[in-house]
Amino acid sequence: MPSRARFPSLNRVIARLSRSQRRHLHDFEWPLQKIKPLSLLFSQRHRHAGVDRMFFQFEELPVFGKEYWFLYVSDAKTLNHLVVMFGRAQGTVNINRRRLKESHAASPKTEIPLVCEYWSYSGKKKRSKGFQSVFSVRNSPENALEDRSKRVSLTGKYPFYSFSIRENGQRIASISFSAPRSGKPYEIGHFSTSVFGFELVNVFPTFKGTLYGKPVSGHGYLQKVVAVGPFIPWNWARIHFPDGSILDVFSLRFVPSHSFGSISPSRSTFWDARTGRQRTLSGTSISRDADRSSWVIRDGKGRLLLHLYPKAKHRFLFKSTGEFLYDQYAVDAYPEEGGIALAGRTLKKGAGLLEDAYGFML
């Protein structure tokens, strides 16, 4: 298993590129031309149509392009959770030892190979499974994204979606999503410079359904990302509290300013279930604790907000031009004695998902 010290430097990664890849690396006008249509997609008056077009469409990826979907649900009471990821990268990439080669199907693509992995944690047991399959998209008679054998299926129209997972013919997950009663229902992000670019859509629905035969409900998280550029280190935590409130903290750990310009290295929000309002937090960060066995979240003034203690772990290892590790943890979140003060109220223990991503891959 690779350690952090073994990851190649940027110069070594570039030295391994083919002549064609180096030529593209020094002329990044072409990826921005590819991403431009995505930005135009979301300038439409009816933005909800843009959400569905993003989810239920395969993009024509340029060199160093990536496309992936992410789903996360956490039960409001038990805090049991399910994480699902599926995606691809331009060219050939190995994802957890599954070799995925880019398909050269005619545009527009309606079928394409993807790698899918999902894992769940119930407080006592972790379950995980992964596979590679050809996925298809359709927009009639309803939007759908699913693999040929329908082991994984996402269908519907914003804001109502249905998601299911089958194993050996048995449905182990059946989730229905709908618009939240309050708060931000979704967000669309676009960023590009002369070097890199990405487009993403995040949907924040409520959900209800079953997971391994047990009822679950709460607030979910659906995401689709299309990116041109490298994977660089980040940390992300999404902490759910028993009253339904959610703390979301994202922090880049490496920002090459000459390439990313004015992009913010961190972004944090707190959604208050009591008021239905969302508050932006400035300067919040995630880091390893001194004993390396836990993580801490601090506010913009360096004050401790939460200790995060891992209960289970799932790893994604990407190998292509460089290597990138992407560790996900199920965590318990404990405040300092007396609780955590946010939005004028005190919150006690929570639980959620922590991501620790490191390495470098073009």
* Residue-wise DSSP of 221-232: EEEEEEEES-B-
More confident residue, 348 or 126: 126
pLDDT higher than threshold 80 for residue 81: yes
Distance of CA 185 to the CA centre of its chain: 17
How confident is the model at residue 144, as a pLDDT? 96
How confident is the model at residue 38, as a pLDDT? 41
Query: What mean pLDDT is predicted for residues 62-66?
Result: 80
301: helix, strand or coil: coil
How confident is the model at residue 109, as a pLDDT? 77
Could you give the CA distance from residue 3 to residue 319 in angstroms, rounded to a whole number? 14
Q: Is the pTM of the predicted complex or chain greater than 0.85? A: no
Distance set, CA 119 to CA 18, 29, 80, 85 (Å): 36, 38, 11, 9
Query: What mean pLDDT is predicted for residues 50-70?
Result: 87
- For 55, the enclosing helix (H) or strand (E) is helix 47-55
Q: Which residues of 41-69 are buried (b: 16+ CB within 10 A; e: fewer)?
A: bbeeeeeeebbbbbbbbbbebbbbbbbbb
Which tens digits make up the pLDDT trace of 304-319?
889 999 999 999 999 8
How confident is the model at residue 34, as a pLDDT? 47
Contact 49, 41 (CB under 8 A): no
How confident is the model at residue 277, as a pLDDT? 85
Which tens digits make up the pLDDT trace of 254-270?
655 444 444 456 789 98
Which tens digits make up the pLDDT trace of 149-177?
889 999 999 999 999 999 988 999 999 99
How confident is the model at residue 46, as a pLDDT? 44
Contact 323, 7 (CB under 8 A): yes
Sketch the domain layout of the chain as residue ranges. Answer: 4-361
pLDDT higher than threshold 90 for residue 207: yes
Please work out, in degrees rounded to the nearest 5, the angle formed at the alpha carbon of residue 157 by the alpha carbons of 151 and 163: 25
How confident is the model at residue 39, as a pLDDT? 44
More confident residue, 217 or 3: 217
Q: How confident is the model at residue 76 (pLDDT cuts 50, 70, 90)?
A: confident
Query: What mean pLDDT is predicted for residues 121-140?
Result: 90
